[in-house]
Amino acid sequence: MKNVIIIGGGIVGLSTAYYLNKEGYEVTVIDKGNISSGASFVNAGYITPSHIIPLASPGMIANGIKMMFNSASPFYMKPRLDVDFLKWSWYFHKSSTEAKVEKAIGVIKDINLLSRELFTDIKNSGDLGNFQLERKGLLMLYKTEESYLHEKKVAYRVAQEGLEVTDLNKDELRNIQPHVNIDAEGAIHYECDAHTTPNEIMPKLLAYLKQSGVIIKTQEEVVDLKTSDNRIKEIITNKQSYTPDEVVLAAGSWSGDLAKRLHLKLSLQGGKGYSINVARETGISVPAILMESKMAVTPMSGFTRFAGTMEFSGINNIIRKERVAAIANGASSFYPDLKINEAEIKSVKTGLRPVSPDGLPYIGRSASIKNLTIGTGHAMMGWSLGPATGKLITELLSGNKTSMDISSFDIQRSFT
């Protein structure tokens, strides 16, 4: 059986290893960290069929420029003279049209529904033991008429796609969240969504893969990729080298730099997010997005997570205190009886989400490197789409019909 090297041990890489292992492949995962931090651990844990509008949508670049000089803003693009960033920004602008958004809606819904089903299958299989997977939906909490009307349009489109959505007034919101004081005028409730605890699932998935014979190499960085006859013949790390039959590039925000070594153009930017865990009782039992604060709140196993921001400032793990403070302030704005304390603020974690110019993932085989498959660029839906991406990549490598049409995720697609 073919041996497959997966570069990247986030949710996409480990999900791919899970499904390839089930098909009998010899699988090795190489990660430059120790698979205990980053975007796959600090995200909001959402499984979101309701998120049918891609990040690249009309008005986003204008908002980014407006917020460019406010490093505490929810959507922050740090001004910098970087050719890749400038190209990506231009492609993002070109992708932010009504027509392209409309074209993306169906495929975003389909891959999210596929992933929701796969999360359920994984839980029912018992492979990982028990873990949190709850279908309580997602509340879009709003304070202003402007936010309500904006989300109402999205909700109408979500309902058109056949997904479950309800409009809640203040009293109905109180009924669904009786144990916490919420300062909001109401909510749009996307009942189609689910949530999990990433910090619970990732270690369980890692342990299962090791027990199942998948080789996991941590603290090992890929430094070069040698090609011959349009194939990757050798993967060289800072510790050793590998001779793969097939290679899966699932290195998140670092995928673009590795693609460059293969002379491939993979336009990607790392979008930094932050999360704060509150381990005391908050009374919050249903996940929510605080619309005016542009942040996510998730009741996880043993704590409540407050997460947010999309910061484009290059590949780094620098924590900006003003952005962390914005999350804490946003939480108390909607939950006035809750104040995130200094110790909780200091425990903040950060991670980089790989963002493509059109907000759609890259999933597919390379046209020029015959034994390379790529899975990255999921933006804020990386966690939600991890299992689906792993399943689709496995189907591609096995020569099976894919579970859905993936032409929109073509890694060679043009953005001009």
Give yes or no for residue 416 having a pLDDT over 90. no
Query: 381: Cβ–Cβ under 8 A, 6 or more apart, which residues?
Result: 48, 51, 108, 112, 361
Give CA–CA dist 369/372, Å, rounded.
Answer: 6
How confident is the model over 62-77, as pLDDT tens digits? 666 565 556 666 677 7
169-176 long-range contacts, CB within 8 A, separation 24+: 173/139, 173/141, 176/139, 176/286
Residues 277-327: tens digit of each pLDDT:
999 999 999 999 999 999 999 999 999 999 998 888 888 888 888 889 999
pLDDT at residue number 213: 98
Q: What is the pTM of this model?
A: 0.95
- Least confident range from 2-16, 49-63, 206-220, 248-262: namely 49-63
CA distance 312 to 380: 13
Place of tokens 């998935």: 205
Amino acid identity, residue 311?
Answer: E
Give the separation between CA 364 and CA 387, rounded to whole angstroms. 15
Decide: 193 and 115 in contact? Cβ < 8 Å: no
What's the topology of domain 3-409?
FAD/NAD(P)-binding domain (3.50.50)
The length of the chain is: 416
Task: Please report which helix (H) or strand (E) contains residue 396, including its range.
Answer: helix 382-398
- Reported as a single tens digit per residue, the pLDDT across 230-270 is 999 999 999 999 999 999 999 999 999 999 999 999 999 99
Give the pLDDT confidence of 170-204 residue by residue, as tens digits. 999 999 999 999 999 999 999 999 999 999 999 99
Burial of 242: CB neighbours in 10 Å, binned 0-12, 13-18, 19+:
middle
Which residue shows structure tokens 């999210």?
Answer: 112
pLDDT tens-place string over residues 330-345: 999 999 999 999 999 9
d(CA 189, CA 177): 12
The structure tokens 């090795």 sit at: 28
Distance of alpha carbon 247 from alpha carbon 415, whole angstroms: 25
- Provide the pLDDT for residue 67: 58
- Enumerate the domain spans of the chain: 3-409
Count H helices and E strands in the chain, helices first.
Answer: 12, 21
Q: Is the distance from CB of 243 to CB of 1 less than 8 angstroms? A: no
Q: What whole-number distance in Å separates Cα of residue 271 and Cα of residue 287?
A: 22
Output the 3-class SS for 224-240. EEEEECCEEEEEEECCC
Count how many Cα atoms sit within 13 Å of the Cα of residue 161 in the half-sphere of its side chain. Answer: 27
Q: How far apart are CA 13 and CA 375, in angstroms?
A: 8
pLDDT of 92 > 80? The answer is yes
Q: Which two tokens stand for residue 73?
A: 């803003």
Longest dimension (CA), the chain: 66
The answer to whether the CB of 85 falls within 8 A of the CB of 45 is: no
Distances (CA, A) of 304 to 13, 253, 392, 407: 26, 26, 32, 37
